[in-house]
Amino acid sequence: MHEISRRSFLAAAAAAPLLIPTAALAAGAPKFKLGLVTYNVAAGWDLPTILKICRQVGIAAVECRTTHKHGVEPSLSAADRAGVKKQFADSGVVFWGCGSVCEFHSADPAVVAKNVEECKRFIGLVKELGGMGVKVRPNGVAKGQTPEQACEQIGKALIPCGQAAADAGLEICVEVHGPVTQVPKHIKHIMDVCAHPAVGVTWNSNPTDLTNGTIAESFELLAKHIKSCHINDLTNDKAGKYPYRDLFSRLKGIGYDRYTMCEVGKTYDPEKGAEFLKGYKEMWDDLTGSK
């Protein structure tokens, strides 16, 4: 099944009716695939180990979170970058991009500017490696600021990041993250201020997505901005803590055709990590209707 274009994806998402009942959402196998954020399952694995286990388990893509053992960082030499690109190409596992920790809420303009420049360094790396995006994050509200002021500041700082990404043929994915800023209405405010087509949202499967036990309101608020998706403990669906089956149905409903990235806080050695990811993939297959 072919993937929709970014333009048609955004158009379809924008046209989605508000608060779609779960029963009305798309059924069947998803267009999206399971990916892996190296945070934190694979934080201690080198790149060959990550790619080997992803192939074994059936994980389609990797987001390389900064500071981990894989070493995929802007500091890589040209030769090292070529080596990383070849490893991904040979493995058949997609290099999604980099999970940076660039953040833009500081009360110090110099710190914000430094983070913008660091984001641009990640953009250069991801472009050279053939990825599609750089993840950034809001990470709270500076002392003395209101949430609204923080959202304005973060949104404006994202504009030059978005332009640099667009110039490189990439995207910026703003993780739904941080004290206060992870509330979906604040992420929506950030998106409204930024208003750059290359800047979107990484849905992050947070408890704050839920209103009266459902993600419906939050999802419809952010649906047209979703460019990436992080998922965590899938057993939370059965436990009634987070409705992953519903999330996956809603992603199908907007034609999402990228990756839902496993991002679990526990670190594993490779042997135990492979077993964990095998079980995770089985749960994902069930919850997405892929079986």
- Give tens-digit pLDDT for 129-146: 999 999 999 999 999 999
80: tokens are 């090292």
Q: What is the pLDDT of residue 26?
A: 60
- Rounded Cα distance between 122 and 42, Å, is 20
Domains and CATH numbers, the chain: 30-288 (3.20.20.150)
Q: Are 126 and 98 in contact (CB under 8 A)?
A: yes
CA distances from 10 to 4, 95, 135, 252 (A): 10, 22, 19, 14
- Rounded Cα distance between 65 and 43, Å, is 8
Q: What is the pLDDT of residue 291?
A: 79
Mean pLDDT of 263-279: 99
25 has a pLDDT exceeding 70: no
| Residues 137, 143, 146: CA angle, nearest 5 degrees | 75
Q: Are 128 and 93 in contact (CB under 8 A)?
A: no
Specify the pTM: 0.90
| Residue 113, burial from CB neighbour count under 10 angstroms (0-12, 13-18, 19+) | middle
Q: What is the pLDDT of residue 2?
A: 37
- Give tens-digit pLDDT for 229-269: 999 999 999 999 999 999 999 999 999 999 999 999 999 99
